[in-house]
Structure formats: structure tokens, C-alpha cells
Amino acid sequence: MSAPHTGQFCALLLRRQLLLAMRRPIEMGNPLLFFTMVIVLFPLGLGPAPDKLAIFAPGVLWITALLSNLLTSDAVFRSDFDDGSLEQLVLAPQPLFLSALAYILAHWLTTGLLLALVSPIFALMLNLPVSALGTLIVSLLLGTAVLSLLGGIGAALTVGLKRGGVLISLLILPLYLPVLIFGTAAVQAAVTGTPSGPYLAILGAMLSLAIALAPLAIAAGLRISIDA
């Protein structure tokens, strides 16, 4: 026997989380279905006029992505907390913030990434110009990763609470706002034909900051939740 070194352990956690997600495909499909359903609500509520929908499309797509991310964030650590795995993870002789990063990466791969990949279909249904699709995908890829990291903080802080589900929205929605603002702005810029690079660069900067700091907050939150 040999203890795995840190990189090996993180890869192992990532593989474990992904396998767990694959074994419950419906859990992976749920956020996508939710995304679809909410997108459908907007034409019904705002009216089906194509030009009107095109104006709102960037905001609608981003708000919906944000909500479906929020919906899944609560579950990142929940089942591991319930069956005692989280205790073992906290006690593991490995840096907890890296383990947390592996969990978040698995969460993003099974939600944000898929969402970004299917988003063009719904963008076309909302009459978003084809020229803006590339920007939409890139902004969602960068933005949902930030959302997953921030959501992880909320999940870590509320995982020990029985009624954490609603609380997590109050805790992390304010933190989501900058991502929403710049994500929408990037797509809007692409629609109007102005360069969207600067907005994507800001989203990238947010992602870098979140990767650096969020895992520390998640690790601290997990230790507190385990203790409570």
C-alpha cells in the first residue's frame, strides 16, 4: 500500500464524482431540463415577437443558466455529508482545498459545461443572431465555472443545515451578480457587433480570482459544517 500523493488523490476524487454522476444520469439531465423549461417560460410571458425576444435573449439565457446552477449547487456536498464521506474527506491527510476544487470541477463538468454546449439550441429558439453564439458559449464556459466555485462556498456553509436549500440562494445570489452583468454584456456586445473580448477577459479574471480564493473558503466552510 502507498498513500496517494495529492495530484493522484484529486484525480481519484474527480473520477469518483464523475462516475457517481454518470450512474444517475437523470440528476445530470435535471438542470438541463430545468434550463429548457425556464427558457420556454419567457416567450410565454413576454410574448412571441421575434425581435422583442432577441433583445432579451442574452439576459434570459444568462439568468436561466444562473438559476439552474443555483439549483444544483446545494447538492455538491449534500450526499457526502449524509453518508459520512465528508467526515472522512475532512480527516484525509490531503489538502482539503484541493479536494474541494476537485469536487467543484466535477460539478462544473456535469452542469456548466453541458449547459454551455446545449445553449446554442435555445439561443436560436430565442432568435439570438448566429454571430453571437460563439461568444455565448465562451462566456457561459467561463461564467458557469465562477458560479460553480461561488456556489460551492454556499454549499459548504449550509451542508450541515437541514433547511439549507433556500438559505443558499440568499447567501450566494448577491455574489453571482458580477458574473451575470459581464456575461450578459459579452453576449450583448456580440449581438451589436462590438468587440466582446474585454468582457470575456473580465470573466476570465473573475475565474482566476475565484479559483485562487474560493477553494479556501469552501474548505473552511466544510470544516465548520462538519463540526456543527
Partner 1 sequence: MWTFFHKLGSPPWLYAIAGAILRWLVPITLVALVGGMVWGLLLTSPDFRQGNSYRIIYIHVPAAVVALAGYYVMAIAGAISLIWRMKMADVVMKAAAPVGAALTFIALLTGAIWGKPTWGTWWVWDARITSMLILLFLYLGVVALYEAFDNKEAAGKACAVLSLVGMVNIPIIYKSVDWWYSLHQPASIKFSGESTIDPSMLYPLLLMIAAFYALFTCCLLMNMRAELLQRESRTQWVKKIAGKEGRR
Partner 2 sequence: MSSSAAGAPLLAAQSLSLVRGGRELFCELSVEVHGGQLWQIEGSNGAGKTSLMRILCGLSRYGFEGEVLRSVTPLYLGHQPAVKALLSPRENLQWHVSGEGLYSNEQIDTALARVGLCGYEDVPSHTLSAGQHRRVNLARLFLSEARLWLLDEPFTAIDKQGVDETQALLASHVDGGGAVVMTSHQPLQVTCNVHTLNLVHGVVS
Buried b or exposed e, range 81-109, using 16+ CB within 10 angstroms: beeeebeebeeeebebbebbbbbbbbbbb
77 binds partner 1 (CB under 8 A): no
| CA–CA gap between residue 9 and residue 188 (Å, rounded) | 41
C-alpha to C-alpha distance for 160 and 154, rounded to whole angstroms = 11
Q: What is the DSSP letter of 3?
A: P
Which entry of partner 2, partner 1, none binds 19, CB below 5 to 8 A by partner kind? partner 2
CA distance 9 to 18: 14
16 vs 9: CA distance, rounded Å? 10
- In angstroms, give the least distance from the CB of 128 to partner 2: 38
CA distance 86 to 84: 5
Minimum distance, C-beta of residue 118 to partner 2, in the bound complex (Å): 25
* CA max distance for the chain: 65
Between vectors from CA 188 to CA 28 and to CA 110, what angle results, nearest 5°? 10
Calculate the alpha carbon distances from 143 to 5, 149, 216 in Å.
Answer: 31, 10, 20
Site string for partner 1, 111-130 (x = CB under 8 A): --------------------
Shortest reach from residue 86's CB to partner 2, in Å: 8
Minimum Å gap between C-beta 168 and partner 1 is 10
Q: Which residue's CB is nearer to partner 2, number 52 or number 223?
A: 223
Interatomic CA distance for residues 214 and 202, integer angstroms:
17
Q: Tell me whether residue 75 or residue 167 sits nearer to partner 1 (CB atom).
A: 167
Question: Which spans of this chain sit near partner 2 (rule: CB under 8 A)?
Answer: 1-4, 8-9, 12-13, 15-16, 19-20, 23-24, 79-80, 82-94, 99, 223, 226-227
89 contacts which partner out of partner 1, partner 2, none, CB within 5 to 8 A by kind?
partner 2
Residue 167, interface with partner 1 (CB under 8 A)? Answer: yes
Contact 47, 134 (CB under 8 A): no
Q: Show the binding pattern over residues 168-197: x = contacts partner 1 (CB under 8 A), - = does not.
A: --xx-xxx-xx--xx--x------------
Residue closer to partner 1, measured from CB, 14 or 207: 207
CB of 65 to partner 2, least distance (A): 27
94 binds, among partner 1, partner 2, none (CB under 5 to 8 A by kind): partner 2
Using CB under 8 A as the criterion, which residues of the chain lie in contact with partner 1 when the complex forms?
153, 157-158, 160-161, 163-164, 167, 170-171, 173-175, 177-178, 181-182, 185, 206, 209, 213, 217, 220-221, 224-225, 227-228
